[in-house]
Structure 1
């Protein structure tokens, strides 16, 4: 099966069934040197810096996407890519692999069989969107939910026209933490314009003021990613994120989604305990999110 090499984003295959791997997503990102590889069954996007390649930077994950879920032979495709990257003087390939809740990617075993080494494994947490979710959350979170509702905090899905307001809120919240938001308004606007069916925005309001907010991405027909969350410092003691997550669970469960991916709770494999415990109390389960390395 022939290997296709895409040196332009405009050349990548259509209809990849995954929000992060749609042409519109790649067109909204900035790459040093984009290259994609595909055949009828598989696809991988890569960014090449002078001697290193990453799949993919500035994104929750990359790796080898299985366009055909029935495929069994992947090693030949991977070996061809490694040979081509080596011919381009690339010395290492870094794979940001997704959590196991994303079934459309090559297995850990396949990467290990092609001599990728495990650099580290981050803690990824997700909520199963079942009817029994409410039973899995901690009693403390249940009390906070009751308190927020009695104090007139209101959850609602925000309009697409409110995305700029949402971005400003996210930026202010990040600044209050001494951080910077990792996506500019222009990039977010471009993403939402190119993939209007993918991104949603939700907020928790009290007397018209935003207390907490999250921009979510519908990654597959089953998984939604809790992409850009933030809580206002003014309301942090009220824990409005509890109501926000509860509202998102209810919204996406009613839409037929199976998991809400809350993302990683570690950095380079080291647990971020406060974040991890909060998600656990919201009923989240853990899976690994590995990063693999390969010397060429």
Structure 2
């Protein structure tokens, strides 16, 4: 669908179903279920994309950007004006009503992923979107700071790993047995395990160059696992961390974090996203405090909903 109407700045709004283009945030398509429809809305200027939104229209009439992913939301190519963002939203709302669609849910990526977030959130609010959720993400950003942290901590880290008899396996994923460990460890601790394993395995199989597993062992017994994801080409996302309750010692968590930071350094990313720190829907203050030992930045992931 295309609307030929132009705003005063010569912008054009385009809505495509089943888009075939590829975005640096590779999870934009997600895994569709029966009855889902997949769309990409774009703001164009002189046929060049300035802003876009991927979303899935569920069978119940709700549009989500995006489902079964850490976030979705609006992506901007460099900078756009407030008028352009407002125009994009107004055209998007008109087209959503025509589909038809009953509501739009946007989970906007934290600010380190999208530098135009302050403007985007302001215009969302001004157009009637309601803020329905907020999660704090903690980050380690700047390649020089990442390298400096490792230079300061690695000598002592290596000594502690040797003293504990720990070994590390780090790299691409060859087996999915680690998911059974994580599920079992979380069950022992009484924590939720909401992983859609089939979808996750499909994603890893489709994008093997984006997923990395960091595992620490004592002899052949796993001590911890962390699944890390390059959600964008310049970032590393710390996902699904878990420590074996029967093997945990005081240093287990710190060892895991430092190994992830080493992976981020080896991959040459600009920042590492340690994710949110909620535990079963409640603020996990001890986890926030622990991550703050390694993080040097924070940003909120906001969820907006507009009823149409």
The TM-score, its normalising length taken from structure 1, stands at 0.83
Structure 1 unaligned blocks of 5 or more: none
Matches of 2:57 and 2:280, distance apart in 1: 20
Residue 243 of structure 1: how far off its partner (Å): 1.2
Residue 183 of structure 1: how far off its partner (Å): 2.7
Residue 158 of structure 1: how far off its partner (Å): 4.3
Residue 159 of structure 1: how far off its partner (Å): 4.4
Per-residue CA deviations over 1:10-41 (Å, capped at 9, x if unaligned) read x22322121222x4xx2x35475233132342
Greater relative contact order: 1 or 2 (C-alpha under 8 angstroms, separation 6 or more)?
1
| Aligned residue in 1 for 2:245 | 233
Secondary structure at the counterpart of residue 177 of structure 2: helix
| Aligned residue in 1 for 2:234 | 222
Contact map agreement 1:31 1:47 (CA 8 A) in 2: no
Residue 213 of structure 1: how far off its partner (Å): 0.7
2:22 to 15, 27, 30: 15
Secondary structure at the counterpart of residue 248 of structure 2: helix
| Aligned residue in 1 for 2:203 | 191
Per-residue CA deviations over 1:134-177 (Å, capped at 9, x if unaligned) read 8779x9x9988753442121223144222x11111122122223
Contact map agreement 1:155 1:243 (CA 8 A) in 2: no
Structure 2 unaligned blocks of 5 or more: 1-11
| Aligned residue in 1 for 2:287 | 275
Per-residue CA deviations over 1:235-265 (Å, capped at 9, x if unaligned) read 2234423112101212221332111101112
| Aligned residue in 1 for 2:8 | none
Deviates more, 1:118-127 or 1:199-208: 118-127
* Pairing 1:82–2:89 present: no
Equivalences for 1:1-296 in 2 at 5 Å? 1-6=12-17, 11-21=18-28, 23=29, 26=30, 28-30=31-33, 33-39=36-42, 40=44, 41=49, 42-66=52-76, 68-72=77-81, 73-88=84-99, 90-103=101-114, 107-133=120-146, 147-162=160-175, 164-266=176-278, 271-296=283-308
Per-residue CA deviations over 1:112-152 (Å, capped at 9, x if unaligned) read 33332322322111122544458779x9x998875344212
Matches of 1:52 and 1:185, distance apart in 2: 24
Matches of 2:158 and 2:127, distance apart in 1: 48
Contact map agreement 1:64 1:105 (CA 8 A) in 2: no
Report the structure number with the largest CA radius of gyration. 2
Residue 83 of structure 1: how far off its partner (Å): 2.0
Residue 270 of structure 1: how far off its partner (Å): 5.3
The TM-score, its normalising length taken from structure 2, stands at 0.80
Residue 199 of structure 1: how far off its partner (Å): 0.8
Q: Cα gap change, 1:83/1:285 in structure 2, threshold over 3 Å: closer, same or farther? A: same
Secondary structure at the counterpart of residue 174 of structure 2: helix
Contact map agreement 2:63 2:105 (CA 8 A) in 1: yes
Secondary structure at the counterpart of residue 103 of structure 1: coil
Contact map agreement 1:203 1:214 (CA 8 A) in 2: yes
Matches of 2:231 and 2:142, distance apart in 1: 15
Matches of 1:233 and 1:61, distance apart in 2: 30
